[in-house]
Amino acid sequence: MHSLVEGVRVHPTIISVSVSALGGGARRRRRWVVASLLGCVVAVAAACGSSAALPKTKTGVPMEVSLDHGRTVVLKATLPYGSNAMRDLERAARLQTSYGGKFVSAIDGHAQDTATSTYWLLYIDCRPASVGATEITLKKGETVWWDLRKTAAALPSTPDPACPFKH
C-alpha cells in the first residue's frame, strides 16, 4: 500500500480514508476525498481507452475492423497519413500479436481460430495486403479494413465485394 496523504491509503484495488485523520467535519471531507479519488480513477480509465490513443483528426485514412466479411463492425477509426498500419491498430484497439508482433491474432478480444481456418485479414483499398501491416505506411486516399473470417488457401487479388469502402 502507498500513502498519498496522511489518512488516505491506496492499494491497486482498494482506496480507504481514515475518518479520524480528517478532523472536524469528517463526514463532509470524507465524501469530498472519496468523490475526488473516484473522479481521478474515472479520468485515468477514460484516458486509457483505445480512442484516446489515436490523434484526433477528421482527415486521414479510414479504418474499419469487422467480423465475418463485414457483417459485424467492431471498430471504426481514422488513422493519420504516413503512419504504420500495425502501430496504429495497436493504438486504436486491444491487440494481440504473434511472430514477433508481425501477425495479428486477436483484436478487441476477437481471436483467430486455426482449427476453423479463421484468421484476421488485412485489406488496403479493399484488396488483400501484399505485405505485412508492419511494412505498410498509410497514404492519402487509402482505406484499411481488417476482417476476421474463414479463409481459403489463396486470396484473390481483386477487390473484396464485402469491403465497406467503395472501390
Q: Which residues contact 93 (CB under 8 A, 6 or more apart)?
A: 50, 65, 74, 75, 107, 108
133 within a domain of the structure (yes/no)? yes
Output the pLDDT for position 128.
Answer: 92
Asked if residue 123 and residue 105 are part of one domain, the reply reads yes
Is 161 inside a domain boundary?
no
Q: Is the dihedral of CA 145, 128, 105, 71 positive or negative?
A: positive
Do residues 162 and 70 lie in contact, with contact meaning Cβ atoms separated by under 8 Å? yes
Domain end: 12, 27, 48, which one?
Answer: 48
Q: Indicate which CATH number applies to the domain containing 99.
A: 2.170.130.30
**Same domain? 37 vs 85:** no
Note whether 37 and 91 are same-domain residues. Answer: no
pLDDT tens digits for range 2-19:
433 344 343 333 333 333
Q: Please give the pLDDT value at position 51.
A: 37
User: What's residue 16's pLDDT?
Assistant: 34
Between CA 134 and CA 149 the distance in angstroms is 21
pLDDT tens sequence for the chain (167 residues): 443 334 434 333 333 333 344 455 555 544 433 333 333 333 333 333 333 344 445 679 999 999 999 999 999 999 999 989 999 999 999 999 999 999 999 999 999 999 999 999 999 999 999 999 999 999 999 999 999 999 876 667 778 888 888 75
- Pairing state of beta strands 103-107 and 110-111? antiparallel
Let me know whether 40 and 57 are in one domain: no
CA distances for 45 relative to 40, 51, 52, 92, angstroms: 9, 12, 10, 15
The pLDDT value given to residue 120: 96
Q: What is the pTM of this model?
A: 0.63
At residue 58, the pLDDT reads 60
| Shared domain check, 6 and 67 | no
Range of the domain at 32: 2-48
Instruction: List % helix, strand, coil for the chain (3-state, nearest 5).
Output: 25, 35, 40
CB-based contact 80:55 (threshold 8 Å): yes
In this structure, the answer to whether residues 41 and 59 fall within a common structural domain is no
Output DSSP code: residue 58.
Answer: S
Same domain, 134 and 73: yes
Residue 166 lies in a domain: no
Let me know whether 43 and 61 are in one domain: no
Q: Are 93 and 106 in the same domain? A: yes
Same domain, 115 and 39: no
Q: How many domains does the chain have?
A: 2
Distance CA 116, CA 103 (A): 18
Confidence (pLDDT) at 153:
62
The answer on 109 and 59 residing in a single domain is yes
Q: Using CB atoms within 10 A of its CB, is residue 103 exposed (0-12), middle (13-18) or buried (19+)?
A: middle
| Domain identity same for 26 and 105 | no
> Is residue 162 in some structural domain?
no
- The reply to whether 117 falls in a domain is yes
Is the CB of residue 89 less than 8 Å from the CB of residue 142?
no
